[in-house]
Amino acid sequence: MRAAIAALSKLGRTRASSLWRSEPFGDPAQPWYVNAVVELELRPGADPHALLRELRALERAAGRPDARARNAPRALDLDLLLFGGAVVATPDLTVPHPGLTLRRFVLAPLAELAPELVPPGETRSVAALLRDLDDPLRVENLGPGTEDRR
């Protein structure tokens, strides 16, 4: 995870949440996951599809196969949660991420970085979404993921 955060810093200035250990989504027989949210400052005019390609390249470099079972364990899974205030709906990319407001393992680290952020299409802040969330899966804060990289 820390290596992925460092690799993202090559794309632009980053700010990372703590690392969070979370119960697996889907198959409870899997090991717990480690999650984080990284804010990435890109150049003006950056393209979300180009960023998605960069994320997929990082996943492959970490050993993630292109084909795998849905919600199966994987070395690295990078999701594009938000892209500024943009809304994207194409066959290969949906932003905001469709699971953004439904999963504690996403909202907890996001609330650490941007508690007052109101995602596009929502009326409540990330902190309020987390507070009101009905997700029984547990998350545990493991501490800093990395320092800010400017």
Mark whether 64 is an active-site residue. Answer: yes
Give me the catalytic one of 77, 132, 138, 149. 77
Taking residue 53's Cβ as centre, other Cβ atoms within 10 Å add up to: 12
Is 77 annotated as catalytic?
yes
Question: Which residue out of 56, 74, 135, 149 is catalytically annotated?
Answer: 74
The Cβ-side half-sphere exposure at 116, using a 13 Å CA radius, reads 0
The verdict on whether 74 is a catalytic residue reads: yes
Whether 79 sits among the annotated catalytic residues: the reply is yes
DSSP letter at 30 equals S
Strands (E), the chain: 13-16, 18-22, 33-35, 38-41, 88-90, 93-95, 139-144
Q: Which of 64, 104, 124, 131 is catalytic?
A: 64
Among candidate residues 79, 104, 132, 150, the one labeled active-site is 79
Q: Which residues are catalytic?
A: 64, 74, 77, 79
